Amino acid sequence: SQTIHQWPATLVQPVGSPLSLECTVEGTSNPNLYWYRQAAGRGLQLLFYSVGIGQISSEVPQNLSASRPQDRQFILSSKKLLLSDSGFYLCAWTGPTNSPLHFGNGTRLTVT
């Protein structure tokens, strides 16, 4: 069966520091991969999605970037964090188009 791993679970970082969140998927090949952000008490905002290695689509201009160095690995990065980057970051995968999203357990990021 397929599983998705996301780490770390929580992270506290100072403003201006770099960020790297990692996500890996097991049990499937060529998944579509996603990064979503959820501000406290708010909805899910799509940040990036990827349909293959090295293919990244950005949905929101921002302080973040994403990379997909391997088929089942998706990385979210920032060179300098802002206070507004705080939130709950969720990695997800899907199979073929129009199939459900499967979310990782999320990373709660607090920028201080």
Partner 1 sequence: GENVEQHPSTLSVQEGDSAVIKCTYSDSASNYFPWYKQELGKRPQLIIDIRSNVGEKKDQRIAVTLNKTAKHFSLHITETQPEDSAVYFCAASIAGGFKTIFGAGTRLFVKA
Signed CA dihedral, 29, 78, 46, 44: sign only: positive
Which of 68, 74, 104, 111 is the binder for partner 1 (CB under 8 A)? 104
32 touching partner 1, by CB under 8 A: yes
- Residue 11 near partner 1 by CB under 8 A: no
Give 87 or 106: the residue with its C-beta nearer to partner 1.
106
Bridge partners (DSSP) of residue 77 are 20, 65
What x/- string results for residues 51 through 90 when contact with partner 1 is judged by CB under 8 A?
x-----x-x------------------------------x
Choosing from 1, 29, 69, 97, the residue that interacts with partner 1 (CB under 8 A) is 97
Is 100 a binder of partner 1 (CB under 8 A)? Answer: yes
CA distance 35 to 67: 11
Q: Tally the C-alpha atoms within 13 A of residue 47's C-alpha that lie toward its C-beta.
A: 24
Distances (CA, A) of 35 to 15, 32, 59, 101: 21, 11, 10, 11
Q: Which of 42, 23, 18, 43 is nearest to 34 (CA)?
A: 23
Contact between 110 and partner 1 per CB under 8 A: no
Select from 58, 77, 94, 95 the one that contacts partner 1 (CB under 8 A): 94
